[in-house]
Structure 1
């Protein structure tokens, strides 16, 4: 054991079992040393804390630890000791913080979210955290700061739109709140205080009769075509129809009971099915769990109903545009149908039932499985009437309207501009 200036030369000349303590120069640090036991020399620090002598291993000689870097680290550690802190505890905390990367925390959070969220909601959260926020994956979760979040939210808004940016930001905030409750060493939720992208306006698109007929006649005789027609006739949500199960259908009563586990408000929803709707249920799928999409799958996969929404919707839009081109007069400018989504079918059904078929608002709410207004108050608790007869009458009238529109397709100009109609007030579809 010797007191010498710790330099590259003296470190490399160490023999097995030999230790050198820093001395004999102005930058010498008391207690800083280097020793070799068998292989690579290791930088150490000797200090007293709590009346006891302690040894702390800084690291082996070589990148990043040169004599100069190790000496600087020794000074920093002695500063912690002077503040009453334990360098070993500080290192353990740093190791934990570095090990908890954004990706690792996101995967742990998703395991919890999967048990609590509806499948579609979970898949969206997973897409945001594992896809949209991928640039942050390598960072320790404790080092993700407000600037990281704000910058990337801006990038998402520019590349993917404000809607995606707003939802990605919300998913990230929820993950950080969960991580803090789990005890991870995060000073605060870095999403808080960042600018929230402008909230998207609720859609108000209501299809014209011409557009409704155009969509109906453009559908093919396949699962997707039958699903979209059922969306029109029942005014239910996409995943409710796409995930329809035979066990939910009472064919003798023409009644479809959607369990609370598959509805947005978690309330069971008995819905009458019209004759037109019943004819769309494919007999070939009887005996399977799902009415649609429950075909052959990979071994071990659980049946999940219809999938492939985006691809099928894109193919439908292409067919609608091709049909417009085929039927256009020579030289006429052809435009695709204005942007529409499957959820617009639900809004269209509610609007027509209210405006043109004279269906009372509380019956429309019953069809849509909404709980608002008087149904959400005290009266809603005691008024347990399902309005089955009234709902069946409303849906039958709506089916007849659709039939008239579709059968009159040749008399309807799909390119004409009908007066813009909006959903009736009070219907947040």
Structure 2
């Protein structure tokens, strides 16, 4: 905004005069007082305020003078010109005494804001964290992160407590709560630790209590799962009798394509490319928040397109509520176990089955197999290569999925 600078002895008459002039011109007007050097009245279209500019005495390292600082004193409604000059003289005296009034004012303001922040409960800070850092749960990772924080605070009855009340004992209690479920405990602890790191950055707390908990008291990594299905078990799963038709169709697709359960359950028809025989996952739908293309074998294409649900937006409408997301995964697994006779069935084990059987029955490299599992850090993308190797190897992936499809056709028979 253009500024008109005027030097004069500021009094009530000059203030009224230049306020009218500012309204007529629309430009900012700055009145510099001839009585008190450094005192100014800044007149804008919406506000009007007294300011005083000064330099701290002495020199900085290197022989340079200290930078000029400006302090806002008030407005002409609550402070007359003589009162503004008196306030400026007070600041001059503080500067002569070696003080830095502007820095002291900023420090007090920061302390005031920090004190206000400390008076907010964890529930309120979680809402702020969700909006500022987690995009209100836009991706699956963000939704899981917020869910684990919410559950951890509820388990410790800290949702209505102030963040500074969270101690290392609370963190140890959280670990003890999930002693029998180390994976859950690690998810809870990691999420709450990142939330507390955010509060530390915002100067709401002075330290993250998770840092003071010993490794011995933190949840241990769970033992890796080793279960996978044999070709005979895959045939039993494929040819299940008595399973709900929508469940059976989805199960067959999961056998043919090693997607994650949620990724496949959320597929919509606009993500299916019939001409190229592939499905495309959006970044917000994948665990690693990256766009991913899964080529479809012939048997997988037959599963997807053989019984197209025109009335539903979802490729696999698993919920009884139209176009609703699937949430009854334990019920799904239970139904499959009952009808197939495979008591240890877990849907996620189909991904491990794909990886294991492809390695056993083909000469496809493990890195290429792993790339089809869409892991964030696959065997081919570690270290420096992760930053330079960006190829998707789509043609090679198509060949891999075609080989997997031919193996399945031999094992499970026709659809």
Asked whether the equivalents of residues 243 and 304 of structure 1 are also in contact (C-alpha less than 8 Å), the reply is: no
Q: 1:393 aligns with which of 380, 399, 407?
A: 399
Which position in structure 2 is the counterpart of 1:193?
212
Between the aligned partners of 1:407 and 1:344, the Cα distance in structure 2 is 21
After superposition, what is the alpha-carbon deviation per residue over 1:30-81, rounded to whole angstroms, capped at 9, x for unaligned?
xxxxxxxxxxxxxxxxxxxxxxxxxxxxxxxxxxxxxxxxxxxxxxxxxxxx
The answer to which of 379-388 and 398-407 deviates more is 379-388
Instruction: Establish whether residue 290 from structure 1 lines up as the match of residue 310 from structure 2.
Output: no
| Structure-2 separation of matches of 1:103 and 1:385 | 42
1:124 equivalent in alignment to 2:144:
yes
The aligned runs of 1:49-198 (5 Å cut-off) are 96=116, 99-115=119-135, 119-134=139-154, 135-158=157-180, 161-184=181-204, 186-194=205-213, 195-198=217-220
Q: Which residue of 2 aligns with 1:36?
A: none
Q: Is the CA contact 1:367–1:391 (under 8 Å) kept in the aligned structure 2? A: yes
Where do 5+ consecutive residues of structure 1 fail to align?
1-87, 325-335, 409-429
CA deviation after TM superposition for structure 1 residue 171, in Å:
0.9
1:341 match = 346
Describe the SS at the equivalent of 1:399.
helix
Task: Report the Cα distance in structure 2 between the residues aligned to 1:381 and 1:297, rounded to whole angstroms.
Answer: 45
Taking only aligned residues, the RMSD between alpha carbons, in angstroms, comes to 3.5
Matched, 1:405 2:411: yes
- Distance of 2:223 and 2:137 partners within structure 1: 24
Q: 1:192 aligns to what SS in structure 2?
A: helix
Contact 1:293–1:307 at 8 Å: present in 2 too?
A: no
CA gap of 1:295–1:373, structure 2 versus 1, over 3 A, is closer
* Kept after mapping to 2: 8 A contact 1:128/1:171: yes
Structure 1: distance between partners of 2:398 and 2:128 = 46
Q: Quote the Cα distance in structure 2 between the aligned partners of 1:348 and 1:373.
A: 18
| Gap change, CA 1:250 and 1:106, over 3 Å in 2 | same
Per-residue displacement from partner, 1:104-160 (whole Å, max 9, x unpaired)?
2223323345417664323333332223431222322211111122123212325xx
- Three-state SS of the structure 2 residue aligned to 1:368 is coil
Deviation at 1:382, TM superposition (A): 6.1
Q: Report the TM-score when normalising by structure 2.
A: 0.61
Q: Does the aligned pair in 1 maintain the 2:265–2:325 contact within 8 Å?
A: yes
Corresponding residue to 1:358 among 355, 363, 380: 363
Structure 1: how far apart are the matches of 2:209 and 2:112? 23
Say if 1:266 and 1:119 are closer, same or farther in 2 by CA, change over 3 A. closer
Residue segments in structure 2 that go unaligned for 5+ positions in a row: 1-107
After superposition, the Cα gap between the structure-2 partners of 1:366 and 1:98, relative to the gap in structure 1 and judged at 3 Å, is closer
Instruction: Give yes or no for contact 2:149–2:191 (8 Å, CA) kept in 1.
Output: yes
* Aligned pairs for 1:28-67 within 5 A: none
Between 1:93-102 and 1:252-261, the stretch displaced more is 93-102
Partners of 1:262 and 1:94 lie apart in 2 by 37
Contact 2:137–2:146 (CA under 8 A) maintained in structure 1 = no
- Asked if the contact 1:206–1:345 (Cα under 8 Å) also holds between the matched residues in 2, the reply is yes
Task: For residue 179 of structure 2, give the secondary structure of its aligned residue in structure 1.
Answer: helix
Q: CA 1:148–1:374 in structure 2 vs 1: closer, same or farther (change >3 Å)? A: closer
- Change over 3 Å in CA distance of 1:123–1:94 after alignment to 2: closer
Are residues 226 and 114 of structure 1, via their aligned partners in 2, closer, same or farther at CA, if it must alter by over 3 Å? Answer: farther
